Chains A and B, each alone.
Chain A
């Protein structure tokens, strides 16, 4: 299977008044697994449907292998797609479902051969004469994948295929998908609302919010350096503290907040702009200490009082009242240490280089 580069260029899609997609552009390299991550209603499924040719964009174009393609669906498009509901035909057997996906002329023997090979590869050969409603969730998933792959498409589109699957099976299935995708080297676009799905198997991730691509990058860069509060929220940042940024001296930034006071730290590059800002920090980057702890100068410190503490097993999650706001803190749980009770005054410290500042 030769893989294909795909360019999505300035796609706009309107339905009714508000546009669902606004000038969406990105490129997927040949053989890459590209994830489009976004909350429900962000337009990510519509984007996939436009790429598949199931929906007509208001403007913009799709290029595969450098050549522009008609955005209408045509038999020559050669796209494989797995739908969120899987959409297996309930009146056909597994074999018939998969064989239906073969486009173009194919002799009976050839069909037989291709379907059998695929079922073997996906480890579902023993289900070939069963109907979809007799299969387990994982098997149905594989049948849908087999049907999408049988025509040897040069582009594979996956619409949240793990959405309705329990966690353990989900982990297994996305691993299997990654293995098959690598083996076939097929360019793949995966749409998902699940952060873990995207981070764990994608080569690159695009975050879509309200029909706009907010950020594209490697999973780790998206996680570590979200480009906007919207992306930050989506990748699990919970604390957004309002304040004002000022530049003091060379390479030193000062953030003053009516709630947590003044913080200073030094930055080599990417200095945040001056003015009103939001300081964002993950719950697990914050640490709780007794109030009389020695304040290490490399850290920033503020005082607060624990409002609630929830023991979650691996971690304890605290809500700490600081000034007029609540801050979430997650602490690793250590054997035999009970959670600090609510009402306790505490000192909260963090490494300011782990914080991100957004203009607010």
Chain B
């Protein structure tokens, strides 16, 4: 784009605006974390950081985070790869439906799942355990969900789709003749799988595995819900405890910033490894015109494996969801699910009578809408500068914009607390505004990805043609660029709105007495022993989320079709 004026025109304004947005929203809070972690009494101090890390609770949190996320990564990768192979390369019945069903866990918030599993498998009160002990006469509970294994199991159920999506995509797109040429050479299926298929999809497997690890490392909800009884905590949970239960003392803030620094470094390492894996394994295995890959005949295993998939889906999706709704309808937690114990009163109460829950629904919806709208527009401006403008220093913009993608939610929340609690003249702590600022920082990367992708499709010559026809830069943007990137903006909006509705990790660190979000309300009700109301609200949240997802799918597909 040619701009011969030396003054301050539209491009300069856009650039300044982008830098401003990212500096204030992303860079400033992040810097404050490192500053607070390493800057003590006016000088740089590493010894203190080491001291904090040597405390038992700190390195225990670190070890737990590594152990839990490591475990989830291994199990999630195995489960995800296996199901991906099953739905793409075998003659499993109803493969297409199965494929959609395996993606459902992505929609459901893991911490709501954790609540359900607590109700089913807590050692004494869990319905399944009680069924085995009271009805079948077992002496001990058959499974204790309040353990490392329990937490890993629950997280696996909700995170395996990361690997499933990557691997099934790779297996579907892979040129089938790569395997056929091995068959022609006389290799058997086992050899082909070992020497051709697995090496070719390995980058996808690894990349999905690293996403699981990244997510699990930063995940608050499941560990907070299931680990609290037995004292299992990871880094995000410890940060939460430090901020919430120590009344914001200097020492606890410092400990939190050190923990956050550890989390950021780990996440950066994971992202770096992932980039390496993807760069190294970027094989051109995608087929042009081709035939469908040969399906493996499961023969005798076809029906048993199908039954296994159905059972898996029933056990991991239907059972917990049904439990949430049933428990939400109980007169008192712990009663058996008889008609006489079930009532609509709880749902009525939390929807129409109780301010706390009504506020939380209102807060989540308004926060979701506001953050999605703001981030969508800010994202367009920043991506425009990154993708289209030839200005110096836009690499910095790109880095700043994508930073929150790998920065865990609890770190963002902590940074926002440090920045906007009055130390720098602005105090919005305990208001919805601080949550809004944090959401914007957290979801900026989503918006940048969607908008950059859309903008890359808009060729420069389109703008040049508008300028040649006499339009000003601003007119060209309004009449040419914006209409063309609108689908990207719509995508960005929903990519932000839906996750924001169910957000817990960030808001749990930032909420005040009247600013609970849905996630926070569910979590705190559960903490306070209000299990029934917690479940009822979770049920309503599930309805809002699922209806939202379906409506949006409809909207997006009908728009694309037109």
- CB pair A83–B177 under 8 Å, yes or no, is yes
**A85: which B residues are within 8 A, CB to CB?**
175, 177, 287-288, 290
- CB pair B283–A91 under 8 Å, yes or no, is yes
Q: How far is the CB of A136 from chain B (nearest CB, A)?
A: 15
Q: Is B341 an interface residue (CB 8 A)?
A: no
Q: Which of B182, B184, B187 has the most CB of A within 10 A?
A: B184
Q: Is B181 an interface residue (CB 8 A)?
A: yes
- CB pair A147–B185 under 8 Å, yes or no, is yes
Q: Mark A93-134, 1 if CB is under 8 A from B, else 0.
A: 000000011111000000000000000000000000000010
- Which one, B94-102, B158-166, B193-201, B484-492, is touching chain A? B193-201
Q: Is A81 an interface residue (CB 8 A)?
A: yes
Q: Is B284 an interface residue (CB 8 A)?
A: yes
Q: Is B7 an interface residue (CB 8 A)?
A: no
- CB pair B184–A54 under 8 Å, yes or no, is yes
Partner of A54, one of B183, B196, B288: B183
Given A87-B177, A87-B178, are A75 and B186 neighbors across the interface (CB < 8 Å)?
yes
Q: Is B285 an interface residue (CB 8 A)?
A: yes
Given A83-B177, A85-B290, A100-B195, are A52 and B184 neighbors across the interface (CB < 8 Å)?
yes
Q: Is A178 an interface residue (CB 8 A)?
A: no
**A55: which B residues are within 8 A, CB to CB?**
291
Q: Is B180 an interface residue (CB 8 A)?
A: yes
- CB pair A101–B185 under 8 Å, yes or no, is yes
What is the bound-complex CA distance between A95 and B196, given in angstroms? 15
Q: How far is the CB of B288 from chain A (nearest CB, A)?
A: 7
- CB pair B283–A147 under 8 Å, yes or no, is no
- CB pair B199–A91 under 8 Å, yes or no, is yes
- CB pair A133–B284 under 8 Å, yes or no, is yes
**A101: which B residues are within 8 A, CB to CB?**
185
**A147: which B residues are within 8 A, CB to CB?**
181, 185
Q: How far is the CB of A184 from chain B (nearest CB, A)?
A: 18
Q: How far is the CB of B286 from chain A (nearest CB, A)?
A: 10
Interface residues of B in 268-321 (CB under 8 A from A): 283-285, 287-291, 294
Q: Is A328 an interface residue (CB 8 A)?
A: no
Partner of A83, one of B180, B199, B283, B284: B180
What is the bound-complex CA distance between A93 and B235, given in angstroms? 44
- CB pair B284–A90 under 8 Å, yes or no, is yes
Q: How far is the CB of B88 from chain A (nearest CB, A)?
A: 18
Chain A: residues with Cβ within 8 Å of the partner, total of: 26
What is the bound-complex CA distance between A336 and B152, given in angstroms? 84
Chain B: residues with Cβ within 8 Å of the partner, total of: 25
What is the bound-complex CA distance between A133 and B284, given in angstroms? 8
Q: Is A38 an interface residue (CB 8 A)?
A: no
What is the bound-complex CA distance between A77 and B184, given in angstroms? 8
Nearest-CB residue, chain A, relative to B182: A100
- CB pair B184–A81 under 8 Å, yes or no, is yes
Nearest-CB residue, chain A, relative to B285: A90
**B181: which A residues are within 8 A, CB to CB?**
81, 83, 87, 147
What is the bound-complex CA distance between A54 and B291, given in angstroms? 11
**B178: which A residues are within 8 A, CB to CB?**
87, 89
What is the bound-complex CA distance between A101 and B180, given in angstroms? 12
**A133: which B residues are within 8 A, CB to CB?**
283-284
Nearest-CB residue, chain A, relative to B294: A54
- CB pair A73–B183 under 8 Å, yes or no, is yes
- CB pair B185–A151 under 8 Å, yes or no, is yes
- CB pair B186–A103 under 8 Å, yes or no, is yes
Q: Is A47 an interface residue (CB 8 A)?
A: no
Q: Which of B177, B185, B199 has the most CB of A within 10 A?
A: B185
What is the bound-complex CA distance between A84 and B291, given in angstroms? 12
What is the bound-complex CA distance between A100 and B199, given in angstroms? 15
**B284: which A residues are within 8 A, CB to CB?**
90, 133
- CB pair B184–A89 under 8 Å, yes or no, is no
Q: Is A209 an interface residue (CB 8 A)?
A: no
Q: Is A8 an interface residue (CB 8 A)?
A: no
Q: How far is the CB of B293 from chain A (nearest CB, A)?
A: 11
**A103: which B residues are within 8 A, CB to CB?**
185-186
What is the bound-complex CA distance between A114 and B213, given in angstroms? 46
Q: Is A262 an interface residue (CB 8 A)?
A: no
**B180: which A residues are within 8 A, CB to CB?**
54, 83, 87
Q: Is A80 an interface residue (CB 8 A)?
A: yes
**B186: which A residues are within 8 A, CB to CB?**
75, 77, 103-104, 151
Q: Is A247 an interface residue (CB 8 A)?
A: no
Given A85-B288, A87-B178, are A80 and B184 neighbors across the interface (CB < 8 Å)?
yes
**B188: which A residues are within 8 A, CB to CB?**
75
Nearest-CB residue, chain A, relative to B175: A85
Partner of A89, one of B183, B196, B287: B196
Q: How far is the CB of A211 from chain B (nearest CB, A)?
A: 16
Q: How far is the CB of A2 from chain B (nearest CB, A)?
A: 19
Partner of B185, one of A83, A84, A90, A100: A100
Q: Is A49 an interface residue (CB 8 A)?
A: yes
Q: Which 4 A-B pairs have the closest CB atoms?
A: A103-B186, A75-B186, A90-B283, A87-B177
Known contacts A83-B180, A87-B175, A133-B283; can you find 11 more A-B pairs with CB under 8 A?
Answer: A49-B291, A54-B183, A75-B188, A84-B177, A84-B289, A85-B177, A87-B178, A90-B200, A90-B285, A147-B185, A151-B185
5 contacts between A and B (CB under 8 A): A87-B178, A87-B180, A100-B185, A103-B185, A151-B186
